[in-house]
Amino acid sequence: MAGRLQGKVAIVTGAGSRDDGVGNGRAIAVLFAREGARVLLVDRRLSAAEVTARMVAEDGGEAESFEADVTREDHCRAMVSRAVGRWGRLDILVNNVGIGIRRRIPDIALEEWELQMRVNVTSMVLASKHAIPAMIHGGGGAILNISSIASLRGRGLAPYAASKGAVEALTRAMAADHGRDGIRVNAIAPGPAYTPMVAAGMPDSVREARRKSTALGLEGTAWDIAAAAVYLCSDEARWVTGVVLPVDGGVLVN
């Protein structure tokens, strides 16, 4: 089913990854381009976005790297302006930037809490604030927010879990607010996929335990997240909005 995003213009934030690995943002960007989208690859590290751009080019797709810190409103405004300026429209925004701070509430510093919320939640607000008017001008679009199953099972990640709970509440509220504007807003809640963000320093025993925690007994990767992203941002999901889709191999039911 090639061309599921043909003719669409997408912004993917956090589109780089560590070294040559493939994280969620990079995988989403590559699959979007394979499906015909033109993709603005946004990352705080331009060099990381450029690796993704080379992967897209090798597949024959079209993308441009763009350096931005999405916790800054002026950068979010600029990335939307660049996408519209180059390709004439904006159809898709993937809010993929996030960090995880492993703390219990009594142990977290206020500065750490505020950083967790600014990166994981405020960045999505700022990016969406500037993307939504561009989508309305073009007749609608799709916003996809990357959450986490940690919103339902924090387990030592209280600040991170709280931020992802906020992402999911934001997703539902935006879906309600902008449905009549032709904008669908959904979220993916990844489970313990093996990506560069978690791989660094992870012992093989922990990796195996993560695999066994799934009902399917399979290890997930960023490509699994990206496949779900293609569906939710394509016209196949034209009647789907306000949904939080776990992509977790069945961890939540195991």
| Residues that are catalytic | 160
Q: Which two tokens stand for residue 194?
A: 């093996």
| CB-based contacts of 45, cutoff 8 Å, min separation 6 | 16, 67
* Coil, helix or strand at residue 95: strand
Closest CA relative to residue 164, chosen from 139, 194, 191, 195: 191
Q: Residue 48 burial (CB < 10 Å; 0-12/13-18/19+)?
A: buried
Q: Which two tokens stand for residue 57?
A: 């080019």
Q: Which two tokens stand for residue 206?
A: 């922990």
Q: Which two tokens stand for residue 24?
A: 């969620």
Distance CA 204, CA 192 (A): 14
The H-or-E segment that residue 76 falls in is helix 73-87
Distance CA 191, CA 144 (A): 16
DSSP string of 196-233, one letter each residue = HHHHTT--HHHHHHHHHTSSS-----HHHHHHHHHHHH
CA–chain centroid gap for 187, Å, is 8
Closest CA relative to residue 56, chosen from 83, 38, 79: 38
The H-or-E segment that residue 158 falls in is helix 158-178
